[in-house]
A and B are shown apart, each in its own frame.
Chain A
Amino acid sequence: MSREAFVNAAILLALLAVPLWALANDEPFTITLATRAAILALAGVGLNVALGLGGLVSLGHAVFFGIGGYAMGVLASHAQSYDPIMEAPFLIEGTKSMPIIWIAALVTSAIAALGIGALSLRTSGVYFIMITLAFGQMAYYFAIGWPAYGGEDGLSIYVRNGFPGLNTLDPIQFFAIAYTLLLLALLLVWRLSKSPFGLALNAARQSAARVETAGIRPYTLRLTAFVISGALTGLAGALFADLNRFVSPSMLSWQTSGEIMVFIILGGVGRLCAPVAGAGMFVLLEHWLGGTGEFWHIWLGAILLFVVLFARGGLIGALAGRGRTDG
């Protein structure tokens, strides 16, 4: 077992141990915090497919996070009011079942990622960062002005959606769902990075020309990565909305895109478990620094700056030593 694999296992075990400890000590809020960290980590794992594997710096992943959130909000609100979403040409009814909501979130955000990716990937570098930001802003303003689902007020879902056989209102059971999905996503990304597709994607990140001479279009590789990335982030969005029992356009704001990216940086770019370490650290900082007074954003900024300038490997880099050398 390499040192990084050891660190990864330790991080994942820590994320599991905290809520179990909280359960034993009757601290339900700590479980909620751990759930939040797991869900944000899942969003980061999604972005990491585009950013870490594909080298695609997307500043618009809040779109997929928000679409996932709204997939949950729209389906659950229609189920709540017994009012079908559409009747013609065929009937679509709302639902309060998590698995169906997850599928809807995955599919809708994948479709959005296909559309946005197909256009955005014609550009590269800064232009790519900015065009993804532009799509994010479009979605944000659309959601604010769109009256059907609450506009800026968002949608409240009074009771968390259900999962067969589980009581999702119990914090520890909902944590278990989020944690399991996070592990599955990590497994998928790990397998992906070792697959021929992942290797080709990695090669395209380092030298597009080299891949092209091998007869593979980098555009297709990147688009595939972008769609997988968007879909995973969308799934996280659906869970996040379920955690808060609420969805609103703030999930689509450019700050959200920035924060998802921050998780990866805090954890360490190019590491499998970076989003987990980063999201955990972010939730902790938010929780601790938020108690230090009105101006705690200064400290958050200072820490972030320090990590970017002086600790490029992030948390995992500091713990596991140098990772891949090409990053």
Chain B
Amino acid sequence: MPTALLVEQLLNGLQAGMTLFLMAAGLTLVFGVMGLINLAHGSLYMVGAFAAAAVAAATGSFLLALAAALAAGAIAGVVVEMVVIRRLYDRDHLDQVLATFALILIFSEGTRWVFGSFPLQLDIPAWLAGPITLPGGIPYPLYRLTIIGIGLAVAIALWLLIERTRTGIRIRAGENDREMISALGVDISRLYTLVFALGAALAGLAGALVGAIQSVQVGMGEPVLILAFVVIVIGGIGSIRGALIGALLVGMTDTMGRILLPSLLATITDASMAASVGASLASMSVYILMAVVLVWRPSGLFGAAT
């Protein structure tokens, strides 16, 4: 493979990883602080994308659309947290899985009810459209570079929030000892709502960013949700650093697997067969990665041992 193509594919893997990180960060934060498995995280991603598409159609502004996605994600997050999620914190995982599975059904069909069954339009804005030429003469879409940038910015902002602010101290304390923190006079239920809203807003942002290059449609959240779970499980649940590393690992494995496996197999069998079998293996590759990591480290790469 020529170097330019290899660099381009590595960038693609990086970009896929950054998108996953935006999803996984909220998920892992919510799990780390509240101990909650939220299958409906993908629905918040969908809500963000639909809000962005609706606002973009009404105003024509992509920045307003992103703001709307953040807001819609956060608002949906607050509502869901106050109505349903807070009743689940001291339940077992089974109840959490099922209640949030029910939320997926409600969100998906509710969105279809409001917006109809057909996919919505959400375009890349003109000022981010098209490729730019990177050093080495590699053409790469500006929009994908922007996603990488936003992903890095969010990672840094989250790190600062958790390590350097009062809220961050409370969040970390909440992960370690719930009774202690409420004894210290922190309003734990407000903190939980805040953390959930933050995760939801990030999911909404991811939905809008991805919606512009993919399709805004009902059910768009579930495949991403499963991958985001793979990411946080590989990284170790509750760890933002783990989510970042996990997201990059999954993004790279998926992208490189899709290119390398078929061409690797093509050396031992005919092209059509290799394309087909290679594709089958590639679609299983991230799950194989996850199983291997968990067998090797049952609590993920950066997870606290249980």
Contact = CB atoms under 8 A, between A and B. Distances in A.
Partners in one complex: yes
Contacts of A261: 94, 97-98
Interface in B56-111: 84, 87-88, 93-95, 97-99, 101-106, 108-110
Interface string A304-318: 110011001000000
A223 interface: no
Residue picked from A51, A59, A300, A301, most chain B C-beta under 10 Å: A301
A211 interface: no
A141 B284 CA distance: 6
Given A138-B287, A301-B102, A309-B84, A129 B280 contact: no
A129 B93 contact: yes
Nearest to B36: A126
Interface string A285-296: 000000000111
Given A126-B233, A134-B291, A298 B97 contact: no
B288 interface: yes
Contacts of B84: 305, 309
B233 A254 contact: no
Contact of B101 (A120, A258, A269): A258
B284 A126 contact: no
Given A295-B112, A298-B113, A142 B280 contact: yes
Contacts of B300: 127
Contacts of B109: 295-298, 301
A145 B274 CA distance: 12
A122 B97 contact: no
A298 B105 contact: yes
Contacts of B247: none
Interface of A: 51, 57, 59, 119-120, 122-127, 129-131, 133-135, 137-138, 141-142, 144-147, 254, 258, 261-262, 265, 269, 294-298, 300-302, 304-305, 308-309, 312
A133 B290 CA distance: 10
A145 B226 contact: no
B306 interface: yes
B279 A265 contact: no
Contacts of A308: 95, 98-99, 102
A145 B294 contact: no
Contacts of A59: 97
Given A133-B229, A137-B226, A127 B294 contact: yes
A138 B288 contact: yes
Main secondary structure of the interface of A (DSSP, over half): helix
B287 A122 contact: no
B268 interface: no
7 contacts: A119-B291, A123-B298, A131-B291, A144-B280, A269-B94, A296-B109, A302-B102
Contact of A304 (B102, B226, B277): B102
Contact of B299 (A57, A123, A147, A312): A123
Contacts of A126: 31, 37, 93, 233, 237
Contact of B284 (A138, A254, A302): A138
Contacts of B112: 294-295
Nearest to A259: B101
A220 to B, nearest CB: 17
B97 A130 contact: no
Given A123-B294, A142-B284, A308-B95, A297 B276 contact: no
Which are the 5 A-B pairs with shortest beta-carbon distances? A145-B280, A301-B105, A304-B102, A301-B106, A305-B102
Contacts of A127: 233, 237, 294, 298-300, 303, 306
A313 to B, nearest CB: 12
B95 A312 contact: yes
Interface string B217-232: 0000000001001100
B94 A298 contact: no
Residue picked from B84, B94, B303, most chain A C-beta under 10 Å: B94
Given A57-B94, A134-B230, 16 more contacts: A57-B93, A119-B295, A120-B294, A130-B294, A133-B229, A135-B291, A141-B287, A142-B284, A265-B98, A294-B112, A295-B110, A297-B108, A300-B105, A302-B106, A308-B99, A309-B84
A304 B98 contact: yes
B165 interface: no
A125 B95 contact: no
Contacts of A130: 229-230, 233, 290, 294
B283 A141 contact: yes
Interface string B19-39: 000000000000100000100
A325 B233 CA distance: 32
B101 A304 contact: yes
B167 to A, nearest CB: 25
Contacts of B299: 123, 127
